[in-house]
């Protein structure tokens, strides 16, 4: 009986030892496998396939009105409504009265001076009838043409003696004094300088304004432009074509742009020049002040080039995955295109790392994951 128990115990012990050895062996393999994985680093890569690239010269900018001005008060008084509501978004036509600066004293003074002028002209009619009878009818018509609510018409003479008569009687001096008052009273009218839209208002109707107060900001609608940065080489090409395509954020063409002007100062950070295009919308398309748009034109084809994300190129070098290692390779940047870049100098079949590489450790095995 005891012999049988010894056999069972011995067999169990041997099985236990074998299990321990098996578990230990598996753990060793797992550790070895984990260690091997720790020595690997995976990078997203793309396989190079060079070809001739047809590139569109592309930039973007924001639509602005060609004319955008602040309307300020040149006089003091109470702001009153004109022919339109003084609210943002309200449209107006050139020549419309947008508002008044109310000051009745100024208008009464002008009317009083015009009344006195009418009396002066009436008093010289007897002299004209006696000395210049042929001119009497003309002066009588002139007297009747003077209206208190209209600008005063200019007196005319047909001889030097007639002019001297007007001067000695004070008619000419009073005429120019009244014209000065008329010019001043026009400052009490806020007249639209062009067809446009009110962009902002700074004063409400009924507010007392002072000389120099900002009343509103207006833009010239239907006359838009866009400013975009452009390289010197692209600008030279643009000088020949002079025309670009305008598209919205979805890529839909909505207009055509024409080279209007450009600065002669280079942006030190981007090494680009600000170029301004006048925009004409396509039929049925609407352009709005403040809209972001793309500006593009067809560029020259780039021979044997490959397109990469900008982050893959650092100081005109890229990283390749070669024989489980990272190696650098110089490239020539042919053109930037937004967040991408066209490069030459790569070979077909090269595996280029797409992300920025921070550090390179020689002991780590590199694995490229093709995108």
pLDDT, position 179: 92
Our measurement of the distance from residue 98's CA atom to the centroid of its chain's CA atoms, rounded to an integer in Å, reads: 27
DSSP 255-278: EEEEEEEE-S---TTT--EEEEEE
pLDDT, position 41: 82
Please write the tens of the pLDDT for every residue from 204-229.
998 999 988 999 999 988 888 998 88
- Classify residue 259: in a domain, yes or no: yes
The total number of residues written for the chain in this structure: 371
pLDDT, position 148: 84
- Classify residue 26: in a domain, yes or no: no
Dihedrals phi, psi of 330, to nearest 5 degrees: -75, 145
Please tell me the distance from the alpha carbon of residue 321 to that of residue 43, in angstroms, as a whole number: 8
pLDDT, position 135: 85
**Ranges under pLDDT 50 in the chain:** 29, 32-37
Please tell me the distance from the alpha carbon of residue 352 to that of residue 308, in angstroms, as a whole number: 9
Contact 123, 217 (CB under 8 A): no
Please tell me the distance from the alpha carbon of residue 45 to that of residue 368, in angstroms, as a whole number: 6
Residue 303: in which H helix or E strand, if any? strand 302-309
- Classify residue 362: in a domain, yes or no: yes
Q: Helix, strand, coil: what percent of the chain each, to 5? A: 30, 35, 30
- Classify residue 352: in a domain, yes or no: yes
Residue ending a domain, among 159, 186, 213, is 186
- Classify residue 19: in a domain, yes or no: no
- Classify residue 241: in a domain, yes or no: yes
pLDDT, position 37: 47
Residue ending a domain, among 171, 186, 201, is 186
Q: For residue 254, give the CATH number of its domain.
A: 2.40.30.170
- Classify residue 287: in a domain, yes or no: yes
Torsion-angle region of 321 (φ positive above 0: left; ψ -120 to 50: alpha; else: beta)? beta
245 plus 290 within the same structural domain: yes
293 plus 306 within the same structural domain: no
Q: For residue 355, give the CATH number of its domain.
A: 2.40.420.20
Residue ending a domain, among 161, 186, 211, is 186
- Classify residue 127: in a domain, yes or no: yes
Domain span at residue 154 reads: 105-186
136 plus 151 within the same structural domain: yes
pLDDT, position 116: 92
Q: Is 291 helix (H, G, I), strand (E, B) or coil?
A: coil
Report the number of distinct structural domains present in the chain.
Answer: 3
pLDDT, position 160: 86
310 plus 292 within the same structural domain: no
């Amino acid at each position: 009986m005891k012999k049988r128990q010894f056999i069972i115990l011995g067999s169990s012990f041997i099985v236990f030892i074998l299990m321990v050895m098996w578990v230990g062996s598996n753990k060793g393999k797992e550790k070895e496998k984990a260690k091997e994985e720790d020595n690997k680093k995976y990078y997203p890569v793309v396989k190079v396939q060079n070809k001739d690239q047809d590139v569109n010269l592309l930039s973007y900018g924001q639509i602005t009105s060609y004319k955008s001005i602040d309307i300020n008060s040149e006089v003091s008084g109470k702001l009153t409504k004109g022919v339109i509501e003084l609210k943002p978004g309200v449209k107006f036509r050139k020549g419309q009265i947008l508002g008044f600066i109310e000051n009745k004293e100024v208008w009464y003074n002008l009317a009083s001076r015009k009344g006195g002028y009418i009396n002066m002209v009436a008093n010289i009619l007897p002299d004209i009838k006696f000395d210049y009878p042929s001119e009497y009818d003309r002066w009588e018509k002139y007297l009747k043409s003077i209206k208190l609510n209209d600008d005063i018409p200019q007196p005319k003479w047909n001889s030097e003696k007639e002019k001297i008569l007007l001067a000695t009687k004070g008619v000419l001096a009073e005429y120019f004094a009244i014209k000065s008052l008329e010019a001043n009273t026009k400052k009490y009218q806020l007249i639209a300088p062009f067809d446009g839209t009110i962009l902002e208002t700074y004063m409400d109707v009924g507010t007392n304004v002072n000389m120099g107060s900002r009343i509103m900001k207006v833009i010239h609608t239907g006359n838009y432009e866009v400013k975009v940065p452009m390289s010197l080489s692209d600008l030279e090409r643009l000088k020949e074509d002079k025309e670009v395509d305008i598209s919205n954020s979805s890529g839909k063409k909505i207009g055509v742009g024409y080279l209007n002007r450009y600065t002669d100062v280079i942006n030190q950070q981007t090494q680009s020049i600000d170029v301004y295009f006048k925009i004409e919308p396509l039929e049925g398309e609407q352009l709005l002040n403040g809209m972001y748009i793309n500006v593009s034109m067809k560029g020259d084809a780039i021979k044997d080039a490959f397109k990469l994300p900008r982050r893959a190129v650092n100081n005109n070098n890229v990283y390749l995955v070669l024989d489980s290692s990272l190696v650098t390779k110089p490239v020539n940047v042919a053109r930037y295109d937004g967040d991408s870049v066209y490069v030459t100098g790569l070979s077909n079949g090269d595996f280029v790392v797409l992300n920025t590489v921070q550090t390179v450790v020689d002991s780590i095995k590199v694995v490229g994951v093709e995108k």
